[in-house]
């Protein structure tokens, strides 16, 4: 009888975990101004006050983020969504206590709207034939902490807007770092070139992807894959500077690539092992890495090290891995948490000035599952 009871309890706990993971994936749902839902020292009364006075906080939210709605009906609907997201952020805080969750600029969006407009990783794309498996690197003397921002290899945080082009920002970020290592110069590269051109035939000289096979094509604001972007850049000859081919956040426009304005070129690209030590070694040796992640916990993220108890590995967002740390403060876990440093593409008004920290050692939210490295063509080597 005792064994039977324990077995039933185990089944119930397992089912609960599955339901929670499914809910996060499928339920419709400028700074750190706005209060987090569960501050580190807050009482339950303060939390209840935030939720009970949702309309007041919604007014502050609208002013802070410059929200404009079409009419009274739209305003009422967004308030309803906002209230649901307060409860959702409360749930996130409970299951991700080492991070801070609360009201963000995405708090008036359902999860479906958020996914459609701000993600965009097409994980079902075929891996390009030009992609190599990265060689195994030594890991014995890796630094305890490392951040490419401290070495000049990372451009400022960009904003993809309401376009599912995260993959292009991840790809340009990796090539910007690789180009810095190859030339000693940090140049901001064009995401819009990838959005406009990474699915077309140029001068009928080569085919970027097979138009008859959607599984091989990036699709602008409709999503893409970083390795596919590297393959396009390799075949096209390179990417222009952002200032020469500026970002509009819109697709379906004509490709305006000018080969005479190429600012960085790809020599090769590789898929990195899922092993975290190998990821760290490739990061240190080859520069920032293009990474896929599940963004289920990012809509409500404000700061801290995100290490959710439950997170599916179904990848849906492309980001840039720029560094790692050994000891992220996690007061509710009563210990320090090692973490990855992620550069996102939602502007500096999200997260920690545009950055996201996620714990290392657990493949949290699939962060170790899709990692790629790119090398740029060398001209003048960078100083060590």
Let me know if 331 is exposed, middle or buried by CB neighbors in 10 A (0-12, 13-18, 19+): exposed
Angle at 381 between CA 193 and CA 153, to 5 degrees: 55
Q: What DSSP assignment string belongs to 185-233?
A: ----B-HHHHHHHTTSEETTTEESS-TT-GGG---GGG-B-HHHHHHHH
Give the C-alpha separation, 307 to 333, whole Å.
10
Is the distance from CB of 369 to CB of 292 less than 8 angstroms? yes
Give the C-alpha separation, 17 to 250, whole Å.
38
Q: Which of 31, 9, 34 is nearest to 353 (CA)?
A: 31
Longest CA–CA span in the chain (Å) reads 78
- Residues annotated as catalytic are 166, 317, 344
Q: How many residues are recorded in the chain?
A: 384
Strand partners, 121: 224
Tell me the backbone φ, ψ of residue 21, rounded to 5 degrees. Answer: -65, -40
β-pairing, 355-359 vs 301-306, is parallel
- Residue 100: how many other CB atoms lie within 10 Å: 24
Q: What DSSP designation does 164 have?
A: S
């Amino acid at each position: 009888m005792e064994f039977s009871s324990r077995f039933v309890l185990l089944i119930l706990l397992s089912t609960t975990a599955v339901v929670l993971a499914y809910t996060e994936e499928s339920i419709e749902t400028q700074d750190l101004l706005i209060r987090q839902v569960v501050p580190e020292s807050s009482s339950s009364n303060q939390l209840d006050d935030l939720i009970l006075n949702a309309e007041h906080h919604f007014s502050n939210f609208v002013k802070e983020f410059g929200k404009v709605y079409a009419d009274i009906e739209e305003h009422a609907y967004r308030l309803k969504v906002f209230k649901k997201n307060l409860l959702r952020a409360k749930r996130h805080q409970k299951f991700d206590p080492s991070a801070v969750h609360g009201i963000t600029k995405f708090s008036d969006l359902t999860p479906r709207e958020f996914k459609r407009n701000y993600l965009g990783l097409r994980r079902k794309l075929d891996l390009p034939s030009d992609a190599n498996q990265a060689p195994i690197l030594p890991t014995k003397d890796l630094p305890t902490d490392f951040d490419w921002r401290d070495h000049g290899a990372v451009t400022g945080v960009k904003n993809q807007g309401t376009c599912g082009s995260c993959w292009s920002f991840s790809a340009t970020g990796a090539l910007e770092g690789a180009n810095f290592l190859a030339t000693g110069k940090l140049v901001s590269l064009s995401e819009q070139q990838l959005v406009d051109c990474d699915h077309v035939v140029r001068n009928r000289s080569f085919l970027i992807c097979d138009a008859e096979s959607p599984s091989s094509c990036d699709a602008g604001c409709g999503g893409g894959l970083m390795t596919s972007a590297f393959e396009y850049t390799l075949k096209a000859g390179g990417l222009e500077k952002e200032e020469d081919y500026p970002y509009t956040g819109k697709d379906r426009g004509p490709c305006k690539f000018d080969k005479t304005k190429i600012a960085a070129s790809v020599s090769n690209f590789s898929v990195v092992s899922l092993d975290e030590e190998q990821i760290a070694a490739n990061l240190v040796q080859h520069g920032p890495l293009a990474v896929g992640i599940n963004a289920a916990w990012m809509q409500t993220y404000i700061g801290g090290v995100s290490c959710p108890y439950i997170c599916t590995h179904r990848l849906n967002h492309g980001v840039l891995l720029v560094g790692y740390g050994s000891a992220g403060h996690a007061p509710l876990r009563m210990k320090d948490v090692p973490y990855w440093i992620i550069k996102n593409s939602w502007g500096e008004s999200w997260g920690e000035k545009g950055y996201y920290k996620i714990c290392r050692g657990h493949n949290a939210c699939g962060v170790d599952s899709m990692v790629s490295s790119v090398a740029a063509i060398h001209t003048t080597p960078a100083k060590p």
